[in-house]
Amino acid sequence: MDNAQEISDDDLLYRRFYHKSCRRDGRLTLATYTLPKSSIPDPEISVDLERLTTSEETLAKAPGGFGLGVLSAGDVRRLGFTVRYQPLPDNNAHCIIEGVKTEEDCDRLAEVTRVHTPPRG
């Protein structure tokens, strides 16, 4: 999977989110990109590279109550953040978004993320 290290702007990224991160109007809150149970921005946001996995596989790694968002690597970069391929032993599709430092950064990422799969339950 050498080409996986080259993430293009057209590549899509999956991000799991807890049901409380989804507003009634279907938009996501900044909590989608913070550390669990806090308002602290996640410095290494875990995402999956869509072309190396499926939405079902990404969601299966989370307990019930989670949904799945999707955003493009290009949108992440246009906001000034980095997308880096970082496979894990049990997840070849794993990448991280780096450079997020403020709640405003988290909110900007949430604005470019669309709900792919609503939360279960």
Instruction: Give 99-116 pLDDT, tens digit per residue.
Output: 999 999 999 999 999 999
* pLDDT above 90 (res 80): yes
What is the model's pLDDT at position 3? Answer: 57
Strands 44-49 and 94-98: antiparallel
* pLDDT above 60 (res 7): yes
Q: Across the chain, what does the average pLDDT equal?
A: 92
- Grade residue 1 by pLDDT with cuts at 50, 70 and 90: very low
Domain membership of residue 19 as a residue range: 2-117
With 0-12 CB in 10 A as exposed, 13-18 as middle and 19+ as buried, what is 15? buried
- Grade residue 37 by pLDDT with cuts at 50, 70 and 90: confident
Domain count, the chain: 1
